[in-house]
Structure 1
Amino acid sequence: MTLARFMELAGMTEEALAALVGVTQPAVSKWKHGRAIPRPAQMAKIVAATEGAVTPADFFHGEAA
């Protein structure tokens, strides 16, 4: 599942995810819109914050079939 889709379904704001992951809102916006890929440590925090709904592969391949 893409980060954007997860955030939409969860009703999560960029600010809320940024607080959970420990980054800025602009960083989340870049990830959400595919303009940047999180670093490994940030990726692990995203996986934890989304309870595994968003995985590293989702940043490279989009939503799974």
Structure 2
Amino acid sequence: MTLIEYLRTNQIKQDVFALQIGVTQASVTRYANGLRIPRPKIMARIFQATRGQVSASDFYLSASDHLPEPPSSVSQSDAETSACPTELRPFSASSCPWPTP
């Protein structure tokens, strides 16, 4: 169960829960919304305060919900006009844009 689910189910306000575990209300908001994962010491307090209903794995599962979407695949025409070289070429000092000693 996520922290936000626990707080809603048990009708516990974030500021009250914050006092129980010894952090600020802002920290509880970040934990509940998956914006921050608590440090191990705080994680243990949350586990105790929720009687095991919210565990460390619940934070990692909810954090993955906030990952950005993977980029869409590149079309063939985009790949053909890409400035990225498709073959390796040997290095030559004459092609180097920086001055050489």
TM-score interval (norm. to shorter): over 0.9
Aligned to 1:21: 21
Unaligned runs of 5+ in 2: 63-101
- Answering whether residue 42 of structure 2 is matched by residue 42 of structure 1, we say yes
Question: 1:36 and 1:60 mapped to 2: Cα distance?
Answer: 10
Q: Which has the larger radius of gyration?
A: 2
Structure 2 length-normalised TM? 0.60
| Higher relative contact order, structure no. (Cα contacts within 8 Å, ≥ 6 residues apart) | 1
Give RMSD over aligned pairs: 0.6
What fraction of aligned residue pairs are identical, expressed as a percent? 37
Counterpart of 1:14, as a letter, is: Q
Unaligned runs of 5+ in 1: none
Aligned to 1:10: 10
Structure 1 or 2: larger helix share? 1
Structure 1 stretches of 4+ moved >4 Å:
none
**CA deviation vs aligned residue, 1:26-61 (integer Å, no higher than 9, x gap):** 000000001100000000000000000000000011
Counterpart of 1:60, as a letter, is: Y
Structure 1 length-normalised TM? 0.93
Question: 1:16 and 1:44 mapped to 2: Cα distance?
Answer: 17
1:51 aligned counterpart, secondary structure: coil
